[in-house]
Amino acid sequence: MDQDRKLFPYFQPIVCAANGNIVGYEALARQHDANGRVISAGELFSAPDIPHKQLIEWDRIVRRQALQQFSKLNDNCYLTINISATWLDYVSDFSVLPTLLMIDEFGIDRSRLVVEITESEGNMDKLVKAVDIYRKNGIKVAIDDFGSGFSQLERVMTILPDIIKLDMKLFQMAAKGGIASDVVHMLTRLARRTGCRIVCEGVETADEFFFGLNCGAQYMQGYLFSPAAAEFQNSTHYQKEIYTLRRQFLQTTIGRERDKIQFILEIKNLIEHLKNALETDFNLDELPTDIFHDSGVLRFYLCNNEGDQISSNFNFIDGKWVDDSEKVGFNWSWRAYFYQLRALEVTDDCYRVVTSDRYRDFSSDLLCKTLSLRLDDERILLVDIAAEWL
């Protein structure tokens, strides 16, 4: 078909934030439109009226060209080639996988190849079998669009990929903040715990690059550096640009961390004030309010050593202290900030403040943290603070 002659690969660089080098490329299918312009072939490969066998044939044409061009690159970078999990269903003989045959034909070091599994469908047993063969042949495996659905989480747990590429739409949403940011941080923590490299796709702005760094992603790919192109580039092509971005990130982050440290110091002073007030006969009406304005303190309460709440919630609302006894008798011993504080009893540091992870407070809908502090031998003070930017 004429289409066979129109398909060809372009290569998008993947850069390392730590040293600024190009560490790899992703091979992407391209074609010419009616005006001769180079466009993505993604629409062609997602066309529902084209048989899968024809799509597989076209894909192998592009893959072969990409491997042939890559074999001429005198560099240590790697090449990522996309393979649809759905198309593995059409493989009848796993002992002669076409990609392995092409790699051997062009004499490419297999350790420089990454097979990137795309699409969320496909037979899991066949996918696991193919991944096992690729790994036995020294080829690394990546999962694309991580975070786009449960199926991807299932794949991560099943095949333990070497590389995880964050879903581009989710990543770009997350860079703007909100719940998507929390989801991406959770996913990147999961990836790091499984020993995966994390690659952020779709990095188009400096803020998205900074967000990727903040998530712990060392590798970036996107239009901020380069779209896919016909030729490979010198591995140090983006070093100066990445050096500048890293410095901007460091300066901005140091400033933010200094603000955070100052905020925490102010909160600790307020907690010390509460502690002193609670060590004597406590009267809520005599507790000052002016020092708590704009402090972030939402409420405080007391627990015994078993984690039972023995006081009301003393909420700071509209500049006033409000007594709410609804939670008296609730038990919080299962919360990390409580049992971690109790565990400090074996040390000389048992009167320090223990801070929880961020969570969303049900009553205020704010992101919060709980700070716990031993008040005396029998009582523990807990303070909830707004932590939108902590």
Structural domain contains residue 345: yes
- Is 359 a residue whose pLDDT tops 50? yes
| pLDDT band, residue 147 (cuts 50/70/90) | low
What is residue 117's DSSP assignment?
E
Structure tokens belonging to residue 29? 């299918």
| 52-56, 119-123, 196-200, range with the lowest pLDDT | 119-123
Structural domain contains residue 248: no
Structural domain contains residue 250: no
State the residue range of the domain holding 84.
2-237
Same domain, 223 and 276: no
| 59-68, 240-249, 367-376, range with the lowest pLDDT | 367-376
d(CA 144, CA 171): 12
Structural domain contains residue 247: no
Segment 80-127, tens digit of pLDDT: 999 888 888 777 778 888 899 999 999 999 999 999 988 666 678 888
Query: How much is the pLDDT for 390?
Result: 58
Same domain, 73 and 32: yes
| pLDDT band, residue 64 (cuts 50/70/90) | very high
Same domain, 228 and 260: no
Segment 25-50, tens digit of pLDDT: 999 999 998 888 999 998 888 888 88
Same domain, 228 and 151: yes
d(CA 58, CA 55): 5
Structural domain contains residue 242: no
| Mean of pLDDT values over 67-74 | 95
What is residue 36's DSSP assignment?
S
Q: Average pLDDT, whole number, for the chain? A: 88
Query: How much is the pLDDT for 192?
Result: 76
Same domain, 195 and 318: no
- Is 141 a residue whose pLDDT tops 80? yes
The answer to whether 261 touches 39, Cβ cutoff 8 Å, is no
Structural domain contains residue 338: yes
Structure tokens belonging to residue 257? 């961390």
Same domain, 327 and 194: no
Domain boundary among 210, 237, 264: 237
Query: How much is the pLDDT for 4?
Result: 47
Same domain, 343 and 198: no
> CB neighbours of 280 closer than 8 A, spacing ≥ 6?
none
Segment 286-311, tens digit of pLDDT: 888 888 988 889 999 999 999 999 99
Structural domain contains residue 20: yes
Same domain, 60 and 184: yes
Structure tokens belonging to residue 71? 């074999």
In CATH, what number is assigned to the domain containing residue 319?
3.30.450.20
Count of structural domains, the chain: 2
Residue type, 63: R
In CATH, what number is assigned to the domain containing residue 168?
3.20.20.450
| Mean of pLDDT values over 128-136 | 91
Structural domain contains residue 90: yes
- Is 152 a residue whose pLDDT tops 70? no
Same domain, 174 and 289: no
Q: Which residue has the higher pLDDT, 170 or 61?
A: 61
Query: How much is the pLDDT for 190?
Result: 78
d(CA 283, CA 288): 10
Segment 304-339, tens digit of pLDDT: 999 999 999 999 999 999 999 999 999 999 999 999
Same domain, 72 and 216: yes
| pLDDT band, residue 148 (cuts 50/70/90) | low
**What distance, in Å, lies between the first and last C-alpha atoms of the chain?**
58
Which SS3 state, helix, strand or coil, does residue 266 take? Answer: helix
Same domain, 360 and 219: no
Check residue 280 and give left, alpha or beta (phi > 0: left; psi -120 to 50: alpha). beta
- Is 219 a residue whose pLDDT tops 70? yes
> CB neighbours of 253 closer than 8 A, spacing ≥ 6?
214
